[in-house]
A and B are shown apart, each in its own frame.
Chain A
């Protein structure tokens, strides 16, 4: 059973809840798919036994020994990534220059160049790691800064998680997804059994929840909404519950605000490990039972 924990809005407590879920079970596979800001390794300090380079597309560069400055590449680039730029400030001579930030790696410039002056280089700074932690196995990705937040790295993390769960016959995989509603979120939830959307009682939380539901409704997974820190604004929490019942979205439950959650994080523990008898831990256990036994 694959359970993905996501949230449209960032900072709703998604990772803390994923960490709690991962420690309620005797053994799990934990896949940190928030590849742009992977954090769970900070809590679980996994011992990695596998590392894989992830090629996040390519970038173009110009060999000025060969370039004739014809400008054909400028006309073909759809990303405004090739410009005619003065080599020095104030100089009249402008030469074709690649703006690495805008380059999308499509290769078209290197194909149209009549003198083969444009080379493509792999973006090879991103990684996927897997290993063991105190409650089972952990897989996570780290996207290098500036790379396209591609769902492909998420897919690689999930494939590895699947391989591990089959090999070691581990029933539950917990996926900690990224914020937002982009392609890495789509990759994190595609084909999962259950999706838990973590939201908070703020007007931005509710607004983002609606966009997230618009996305998850396209999938066959069983989707649940969980309100974290519900008592920070009971009125909006009620609005969220009402929104769920009106739109026939399963409501997993609500967690009260408790500093113990942050204290747990500071001590590098999940809240279940840090304060098993706290109210919040009991609420989380209850929600976990509910979503894993839902038929």
Chain B
């Protein structure tokens, strides 16, 4: 079958529960797709714990385009206020305008401080100040980096700085840097809170990875409810199949959610993963399965017929 060229799709790999195998799926799917004559990009959006690169020892650092400074790393920054104590009249307007409790003021002893870790960089304090006492400086929230793994394949990693309040600005920058062309795989952060939503919001299709345990099912349900409200197409991969119970299967049938793939629990797969080895490199039959799954997802995206619709 000839390769279909110029495919354009964004697939997010997500899961409510952590450690179900998002990275396993993202890295193996990405590597499988590099076989196609297409531009393929993997974006590691798990900015708190980015791990995808560990599976691509051959990856070479590569510069971003000029929009992102033309270097291999682009620093994601946020502005934080600097208070000029000689102009400040300690009126408290900036503190009142701050929705994040990032300004600490003791009027009595004329002490004012910015708690940078709480600041979201909204600029409300600067707007509030009527005494020209607030300027801004930049602080780093993390970096995005670019790597090349083949002729048409590359990885963008979002890596938040330890201790920063939210990984979201770094994730958003990485997704933006990925652009709109080609096949893009987004390895999403766990959970269903803000970082997850930011990642899946831009996706055409979401692969939810779960495991057949009560914890896995409970978190899967929460992810499904969230994706329903977002009107996303999605399907489920059951990882470590055979390890727990069967309840996840009846849930999928009942909700008419497509089961995209099952990966059995066995020590060999676990051991390959533990060493940072790709399943599809060592077990070619998995490459075929990943490719088949991709084709199903792509045609569903391109030609409609979403089986999520009742």
Contact = CB atoms under 8 A, between A and B. Distances in A.
B19 interface: yes
Contacts of A8: 48-49
B243 A262 contact: yes
B123 A78 contact: yes
A76 B97 CA distance: 14
Nearest to B127: A108
A143 B197 CA distance: 13
Centre residue among A42, A112, A180, A232 by max chain B CB count within 10 A: A180
Interface residues of A, number: 58
A265 B244 contact: yes
Interface string A264-285: 0110100000000000000000
Contacts of A146: 192-194, 197, 226
B231 interface: no
A78 B219 CA distance: 32
Nearest to A106: B122
Interface stretch (B143-151, B160-168, B301-309): B160-168
B81 interface: no
Nearest to B122: A106
Interface string B156-200: 000010111111000000000000000000000111111101100
Contact of A39 (B20, B167, B215, B243): B215
Interface string B115-133: 0000011111001000000
Contacts of A192: none
Contacts of B226: 145-146
A85 interface: no
Contacts, number: 174
B214 A37 contact: no
21 contacts: A8-B48, A10-B17, A76-B123, A78-B79, A101-B201, A107-B97, A108-B127, A111-B127, A145-B197, A147-B193, A148-B193, A149-B193, A181-B162, A186-B163, A204-B49, A207-B54, A211-B162, A232-B270, A233-B274, A259-B243, A262-B213
Interface of A: 8-12, 15, 36-37, 39, 42-43, 57-58, 76, 78-79, 101-102, 104-108, 111-112, 143, 145-149, 178-183, 186, 200-205, 207-208, 211, 214-215, 218, 232-233, 236, 259, 262, 265-266, 268
Interface of B: 16-20, 23, 48-49, 51, 54, 79, 97, 99-100, 120-124, 127, 160, 162-167, 189-195, 197-198, 201, 211, 213-215, 218-219, 222, 225-226, 229, 243-245, 267, 270-271, 273-276
